[in-house]
C-alpha cells in the first residue's frame, strides 16, 4: 500500500531530492525548520507505479527521492538546498556510502524555471566547497510515486530497532547538528 502524494498548502512549495537512501534524506529534512512534510518515493524513471522491489533491480531508472514541502514564509529553496549539499556526497556517482546503484544518485527534480535557476546557482556555490566535481543531476520533475507506507517516517518509527538507522542515519543527523 502506497501513501498518497500530499497536496500543497497555500504558501508552500515542493522540491524533490535524491540524496541516496530515502530513509536518510527523509530523516534529515523532517527536522529542518519550515519543512511541512517529507514523503519518500520514486522519480526519474520510466516504470509506472514502481514498487521498492522494482527500484532495487536498477532497471526502472527511478531514484529513491524525498518530496520536501516547505513553507516559503519560513524557509527558502536556497536554504533547503544548503542542507541538501551537506546531507550527502554529491561527488559520487550512483552511490552513497554502502548504497550503490542508479536509484541512489544525487538529483534535484525541479518544478519551475525559478527552482531550476536556484538549483543551478546552489550547485555552483557547492562546487566551491567540494574538491571533486559534483555529479548531481538537475532535472525537471516527472511523476512522483510515493513509496510504500512502511518506508514513510522510517527513521522515527525504526531508529532503535533497525541497525541501519543506528549506524547510518543517526550519525548523519549528528554530523548535521540535528537530533538523532
CATH number of the domain encompassing residue 105? 3.30.1060.10
- Within a domain: 87: yes
- Would you report the helix, strand and coil content of the chain in percent, each value rounded to 5? 35, 25, 40
CA–CA–CA angle 144, 118, 58 (5° rounding): 35
Tell me the whole-structure pTM to 2 decimals: 0.94
- Within a domain: 125: yes
- Within a domain: 6: no
> Strand order in 12-19's β-sheet?
137-140, 106-110, 12-19, 63-71, 35-43, 145-146
Domain count, the chain: 1
Q: Above 80 in pLDDT, residue 2?
A: no
Catalytic annotation, residues: 21
- The pLDDT tens digits of the residues spanning 113-160 come to 999 999 999 999 999 999 999 999 999 999 999 999 999 999 999 999
- Within a domain: 92: yes
128, burial (CB in 10 Å: exposed 0-12, middle 13-18, buried 19+): exposed
Tell me how crowded residue 130 is: count the other CB atoms within 10 A of its CB: 12
- Within a domain: 7: no
* C-alpha cell at position 122: 546552489
Domain membership of residue 105 as a residue range: 12-173
Which of 175, 169, 15 lies closest to 99, judged by CA?
169
- Within a domain: 25: yes
- Within a domain: 179: no
Q: Which residues fall within 8 angstroms of residue 35, CB to CB, at 6 or more apart? A: 29, 68, 69, 70, 71, 75, 80
- Within a domain: 55: yes
Amino acid at each position: 500500500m502506497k501513501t498518497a502524494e500530499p497536496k500543497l498548502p497555500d504558501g508552500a512549495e515542493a522540491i524533490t531530492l535524491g540524496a541516496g537512501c530515502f530513509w536518510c534524506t527523509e530523516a534529515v529534512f523532517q527536522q529542518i525548520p519550515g519543512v511541512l512534510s517529507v514523503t519518500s518515493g520514486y522519480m526519474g524513471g520510466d516504470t509506472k507505479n514502481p514498487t521498492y522491489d522494482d527500484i532495487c533491480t536498477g532497471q526502472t531508472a527511478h531514484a529513491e527521492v524525498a518530496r520536501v514541502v516547505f513553507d516559503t514564509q519560513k524557509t527558502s529553496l536556497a536554504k533547503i538546498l544548503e542542507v541538501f549539499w551537506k546531507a550527502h556526497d554529491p561527488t559520487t556517482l550512483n552511490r552513497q556510502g554502502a548504497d550503490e546503484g542508479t536509484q541512489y544518485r544525487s538529483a534535484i527534480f525541479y518544478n519551475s524555471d525559478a527552482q531550476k535557476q536556484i538549483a543551478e546557482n546552489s550547485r555552483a556555490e557547492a562546487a566551491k566547497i567540494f574538491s571533486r566535481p559534483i555529479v548531481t543531476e538537475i532535472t525537471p520533475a516527472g511523476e512522483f510515486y510515493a513509496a510504500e507506507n512502511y518506508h514513510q517516517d522510517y527513521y522515527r518509527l525504526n531508529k532503535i530497532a533497525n541497525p541501519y538507522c543506528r549506524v547510518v542515519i543517526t550519525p548523519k543527523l549528528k554530523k548535521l547538528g540535528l537530533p538523532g
